[in-house]
């Protein structure tokens, strides 16, 4: 490895549901962060490591910064997202094409004191039929800050994502790689399989229920050709338990089926998955309960 290689941390920042996790998965070329068309799907800071011949980019996927901070979970999400600004080398500020909200402005305000380069990435351009409308929008947003680079893209379709990758790589400091070249993430397999279950629940359950549940892996037993998993789905009220289980267990079975398929692809082995639904009243508004369920404030890596 030559001394001219670059390496560093690049944060994906933006309001909820703007496409940060979809972008991370696209950049890495495989699924790492869970995705769903609902805000607050991402609850943890997740590192995705991309090693190129000339650079190692450590992407930092963050929960969406948002205004509704009344509950302990909301406050945790905002702290988790804001914490990364203190140690990353590059910030990618992701917004949605032809849309600017007060929450976008809040994220931009938080970046005011960030000393490093800030790249403005405008996502979901594939949804814009009349591309001539993009240029005035780009000019308007680019005037809000002296961005290092401005690039439109589609995380879903992959349009212009390679250009964003090139931009980030050249903005990183010159230094040796920070992680082994074959490492994809610092997240444990135990964490990743719990997230896969939560993704399926978020996609299958409607309205507010996904925000009232979390998943804990009680047992992760590796055998030669099989992984045995015991997972608990925690909800906040007894009435929610029946919704998660579904009529005659149908919803829970479907969650298990879909999650098991993704787990087997992730782990490269057969998976035996058992799930239980239990009630822990008010867990999402209880700081101690959050910590016990794995929602500890992240520090610098």
For the stretch 65-111, pLDDT in tens is 777 667 888 888 888 888 899 899 999 999 999 999 999 999 999 99
Least confident residue range of 17-26, 40-49, 235-244, 252-261: 40-49
Tell me the C-alpha distance between 41 and 34, whole Å: 7
For residue 203, the SS3 value is helix
Number of helices (H), then strands (E), in the chain: 9, 9
Q: Do domains 6-171 and 189-292 have the same CATH topology?
A: no
Mean pLDDT of 22-30: 93
For the stretch 200-238, pLDDT in tens is 998 898 766 767 899 999 999 999 899 999 999 999 999
Give yes or no for residue 1 having a pLDDT over 50: no
- The full set of domain ranges for the chain reads 6-171, 189-292
CATH architecture of 189-292: 2-Layer Sandwich (3.30)
CATH class of segment(s) 6-171:
alpha beta
Q: How buried is residue 297: exposed, middle or buried, by Cβ count under 10 Å (0-12/13-18/19+)?
A: exposed
Give yes or no for residue 180 having a pLDDT over 50: yes
- What pLDDT, on a 0 to 100 scale, did the predictor assign at position 208? 61
For the stretch 108-152, pLDDT in tens is 999 998 999 999 999 999 999 998 999 999 999 999 999 999 999
Mean pLDDT of 146-166: 96
């Amino acid at each position: 490895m030559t001394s001219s290689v670059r390496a560093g941390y690049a944060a994906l920042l933006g309001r909820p549901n703007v496409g940060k996790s979809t972008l991370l998965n696209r950049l890495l070329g495989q699924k790492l962060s869970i995705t769903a068309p609902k805000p607050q799907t991402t609850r943890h800071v997740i590192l995705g490591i991309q090693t190129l011949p000339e650079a190692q980019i450590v992407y930092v996927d963050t929960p969406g910064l948002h205004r509704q901070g009344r509950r302990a979970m909301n406050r945790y999400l905002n702290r988790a997202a804001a914490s990364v600004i203190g140690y990353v080398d590059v910030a990618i500020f992701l917004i949605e094409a032809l849309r600017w909200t007060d929450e976008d402005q809040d994220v931009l305000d938080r970046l005011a004191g960030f000393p490093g380069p800030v790249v403005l990435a405008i996502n979901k351009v594939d949804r814009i039929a009349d591309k001539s409308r993009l240029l005035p929008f780009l000019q308007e947003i680019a005037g809000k800050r002296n961005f290092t680079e401005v690039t439109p893209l589609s995380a879903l379709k992959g349009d212009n994502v390679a250009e964003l990758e090139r931009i980030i790589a050249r903005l990183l400091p010159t230094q040796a790689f920070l992680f082994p070249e074959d490492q994809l993430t610092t997240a444990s397999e135990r964490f990743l399989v719990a997230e896969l279950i939560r993704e399926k629940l978020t996609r299958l359950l409607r309205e507010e229920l996904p925000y009232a549940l979390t998943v804990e892996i009680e047992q992760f037993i590796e055998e030669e050709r099989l992984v045995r998993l015991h997972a608990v789905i925690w909800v906040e009220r007894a009435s929610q338990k029946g919704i998660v289980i579904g009529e005659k267990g149908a919803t829970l079975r479907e969650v298990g089926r879909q999650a098991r398929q993704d787990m087997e692809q992730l782990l490269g082995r057969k998976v035996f998955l058992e799930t239980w639904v239990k009630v822990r009243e008010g867990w999402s508004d209880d700081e101690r309960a959050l910590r016990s369920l794995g929602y500890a404030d992240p520090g610098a890596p």
